[in-house]
Amino acid sequence: MTRYAASVGPAGFRFPDLRTVLGRASPARSGDELAGLAAGSDAERVAARRVLADVPLRTFLDEAVVPYEDDEVTRLIVDTHDAAAFAPVASLTVGGFRDWLLSPAATTEALSALAPGVTPEMAAAVSKLMRNQDLIQVARRCTVVTRFRNTIGLPGRLSVRLQPNHPTDSPRGVASSVLDGLLYGCGDALIGINPASDALGAVVDLLRLTDDIRQRYEIPTQSCVLAHVTQTLRAIEHGAPVDLVFQSVAGTEAANRAFGVDLALLGEAHAAGLSLERGTVGDHVMYFETGQGSALSSDAHHGVDQQTLEARAYAVARRFRPLLVNTVVGFIGPEYLYDGKQIVRAGLEDHFCGKLLGLPMGCDVCYTNHAEADQDDMDTLLTLLGVAGCTFVMGVPGADDVMLNYQSTSFHDALYVRETLNLRPAPEFEAWLERMGMYDDAGALRSPVPHSGLTAGMAAMIERA
């Protein structure tokens, strides 16, 4: 007899296992349809959600969607589950969990205490029963604070990764973009460069450039070159000024293997970053990026829907106490998130799941040029994430990344959401902006025109580069 079954109107639906229920319950998205995991009709989707609502949360501890013996991510999730933290909701079903999350009982303090007891599958499951406003309301209550050279994630603040990518890794081009971003008040999350070349020399040169800028102007932030973790380890061995150790991660062992990593390698990298002791206010040294569809794109999804696997990637990130995690939500393309509606929903899901699991969750609000999306969709998602208490977003010159060839959010987009929602940068960075004369007498960021020693000094640096 089939364990999971429900009727919607005259139609009856049966689901062979929990992962099928999760896949059929997901909002429509092209990646799940491509993998044959999506509901075949709205009626089947409603039936799957009805079934999912009645599943006890404890079921996720007993019925792994990816077998324990086959996958180290599953073993990580099961072996590190905090039963004591889980106890307040242990008797609930998925539907009951949704009701609890939306109740006054789910305070910031209660959610923080609960986080170690929530598995990624539980977070993904409850998100499938929630409207967008539910995802926003609960995520806003989750406060996750991390520290390296500044304090990120405090209530009422939104940080920005300054992303000065250049198609040839030109030092002059990178430095120009850094100056542009700093004058808009961006860069408190980090100055993070995706290198055009993964060659060790290029990585080290970019690390030294950004560290020189940081030290010269005493900027309380951190830098990162988003090379593969093995190259960052080599850079550390060569004495490069590495602040944060970066790596893209996914929700299955096989998908991480496709990225060229496993938990042991990430553990080595974490230890190496800690050994440098470069943080001044904290020791969160890891930066992770994720994205729905990465496991499917490497044929490593085990028949599990892409949003559940995305949440499992957060278990990998959580293991290493990161300073920052962000979902690059629309970057993989329309094969996985077809249009603006799917990208907006995925961004809110990812942010909610990450925050519920206790992560400092940001979002690269982005899309590729062949997706059925445009900048208006990104404005919508950016605004919703600002309301939801997103930890950080991207700041890209003109919103057009000329190296990665995709559309993201710009420096002025970050300025818009901060001003509109009365959000401020990290406190140490905000104090630096004030010292540099970039705030006017009313406490607002000045127009980004030459007005301080930063502009003249950086201009000279750019000329030398």
Q: What is the pLDDT of residues 230-254, one digit of tens each?
A: 999 999 999 999 999 999 999 999 9
Within 10 angstroms of residue 216's Cβ, the number of other Cβ atoms is 12
Q: What is the pLDDT of residues 260-288, one digit of tens each?
A: 999 999 999 999 999 999 999 999 999 99
Q: What is the pLDDT of residues 143-198, one digit of tens each?
A: 999 999 999 999 999 999 999 999 999 999 999 999 999 999 999 999 999 999 98
Predicted pLDDT of residue 9 = 67
Q: Which residues pair with 247 in a beta bridge?
A: 288
Query: Side chain identity at 422, as an amino acid letter?
Result: N
Q: DSSP letter at 69?
A: G
Task: Compute and round to an integer the Cα radius of gyration of the chain.
Answer: 22
| Percentage of residues of the chain with pLDDT beyond 90 | 91
Contact predicate 141/355, CB 8 Å: no
Q: pTM score, two decimals?
A: 0.95
**Geometric angle at alpha carbon 272, from 142 and 116, rounded to 5°:** 25
Average pLDDT over residues 137-146: 98
Rounded CA-CA distance 243/236 in Å is: 10
pLDDT band, very low/low/confident/very high, at 1 (cuts 50, 70, 90):
very low
- Strand pairing of 400-401 and 406-407? antiparallel
Torsion of CA 419, 420, 426, 432, to 10 degrees: 0
Contact predicate 425/185, CB 8 Å: yes
On the question of pLDDT at 2 being above 60, the answer is no
